[in-house]
Chain A
Amino acid sequence: MPVSAANSQIVFDALKSCGVRLMSALPETWLVHLVRLADADPDVTLVRLAKEEEGVGISMGAHLAGVKSAMLMQNHGFLAAINGVVSGAQLYRIPLLMLISDRGSFGERDPWQTEGGAVSEAVLNALRIPTMRLDDPAKVAHRIRQAQTLALSSNKPVALLLTRDLMWEEAT
């Protein structure tokens, strides 16, 4: 499977170095390594979800209880979680660190992913959620730390888009 194990490890290590101790996830192809890393790490509580919106509630509870968390989801999962983001995290000023795999952008071969890819950033912008793309492994740790810093200082959700360039290694 050409999901980048090396870059998944970089993302995971960056989250851990930011003190993230709880990760919620609903697996998708690009997230398989990240989910396995979280599952195998005794310092991280992995919460496997039935639907991504649950992750908003879980991260809200974790934050109120003093635990740093991150949410791992596909962009279609983000679309499924929006009411929780708006009427939970935004209404109650709770920081969320959302890592969203940006399926359906240039290079996507799966027809069913293409609509989500076309709207994800526009929806994030409409919700005024600060968003940055993770595409260069050398900048991943820095950007994750900066995203978490802003989430915590503003008490608001932030999003990092996991891009194809970072997560997928095309067969040559």
Chain B
Amino acid sequence: MTRLDALRAVYDQLDECAVVTIMGAVAAELQSIGHRPNFFYLQHAMGLASSLGLGIALSKPAVPVVVFDGDGSVLMNLGGLSTLARYRPKNLVHVVFDNESLLSVGGFPTVTGTCTRLAEVAAAAGVPRTACVSTVDDFTREFAAARKAAELTTLVAKVEAVGPAAFVTDLGLLENRFQFQRYLQTR
């Protein structure tokens, strides 16, 4: 499964969600499918997308929040998984695209390709629902189930280490930030 195919498969399920992505390929690929005002791309502060999603989820319990995270980013903030689990917001779906590499900076392997299994790490941290999938069909089904479950979910999607040719898009960081804030004011 490619990350782009996975994103395309669930794109129509993101209508009512506050969506937070990490930097690099995830942000560029979601924008290539189509930017929306309810999408926020954290283009740096690696590791903090899940924490930012937690801040939104706790502040707006009625708004479903989706975080598109990555293996390299999760590994930078493993303690954040335990904080997510501690507060276990029912309105947060935490997707981890695991391509077993730091793709955006040259494809160097992360430890998830050899010995660390992130869905099990999340489960051991106390995240109540976890799954690890490797096909688009399974991802689509598990994502929909997580959206319906009303229970904090970490869904690890094993994806190929391929991405877009470029990561910079024509959406300004601050334009995105203020548009997203105004979107949340309507929710």
Please give the residue numbers on chain A whose beta carbons come within 8 Å of chain B beta carbons, in ascending order.
22, 45, 47-51, 53-67, 69, 83-84, 87-88, 91-94
Judge whether B141 is part of the interface by a CB distance below 8 angstroms. no
The yes or no answer to B60 lying at the interface (CB within 8 A) is yes
Q: A62-B55, A64-B56, A93-B177 are in contact. Are A56 and B45 (CB under 8 A)?
A: yes
Chain B residues within an 8 Å CB radius of A66: 59-60, 184-185
Main secondary structure of the interface of B (DSSP, over half): helix
> A54's contact among B58, B59, B77, B185, by CB below 8 Å, is which?
B77
Q: A88-B48, A93-B177 are in contact. Are A61 and B83 (CB under 8 A)?
A: no
Contact B45 A64 (CB under 8 A): no
Q: Please give 6 more A-B residue pairs, beta carbons under 8 A apart, in addition to A64-B40, A92-B174.
A: A54-B48, A56-B45, A61-B57, A62-B59, A65-B59, A92-B177
Contact A61 B80 (CB under 8 A): no
Q: A62 to B43, alpha carbons, bound, how many Å? A: 18
Interface residues on B, range: 35 or more
Residues of B within 8 A of A (CB): 18, 20, 40, 42-60, 63, 77, 79-80, 82-83, 86-87, 173-174, 177, 180-181, 184-185
Say yes or no: B82 contacts A57, CB within 8 Å. Answer: no
Contact yes or no, A57 B174, CB < 8 A: no
A93 and B48 within 8 A (CB): no
Q: Which of A50, A60, A92, A93 interacts with B79 by CB under 8 Å?
A: A50
Please judge, given known A-B contacts A84-B45, A87-B44, whether A92 and B173 are in contact too, CB under 8 Å: yes
Q: List 10 A-B contacts (CB under 8 A).
A: A53-B47, A54-B77, A56-B48, A56-B51, A57-B49, A61-B56, A64-B177, A65-B59, A83-B46, A93-B177
